[in-house]
Amino acid sequence: MSKKLDLLHSDYLFLSLGLGIGGGIYLLLAHQPSLQVGVIILTGIFYILWGAIHHAREDEWHIKVLLEYILIAALAVTLWLSFTLRT
């Protein structure tokens, strides 16, 4: 297996773990909506940072890529919060 393929797998494994941990903490805080909001926002920030680091390591970093990650994270956080904060 090539070194580049190993790097990609480790990057995506790290992303999966980070998102999974964020989701797990979110579920553990089911009775504390204010803390859930923080977890959602931090998970979105993690996703943006992961995307920037991943693409920088792959020599594919460009401001458009970063903006894409920011917009997707903002959309996901906004949608998630709209469902979380409904009472």
Number of separate domains in the chain: 1
The whole-angstrom separation of Cα 70 and Cα 48 is: 6
- In contact, 48 and 69? CB cutoff 8 Å: yes
Instruction: Quote the CA–CA distance of 77 and 44 in Å, as a whole number.
Output: 6
Residues spanned by the domain of 35: 3-84
For 13-35, write each residue's pLDDT tens digit.
999 999 999 999 999 999 998 99
Question: Global pTM?
Answer: 0.86
d(CA 59, CA 77): 28
Q: Which residues of the chain have pLDDT under 50?
A: 1
In this prediction, residue 9 carries a pLDDT of: 72
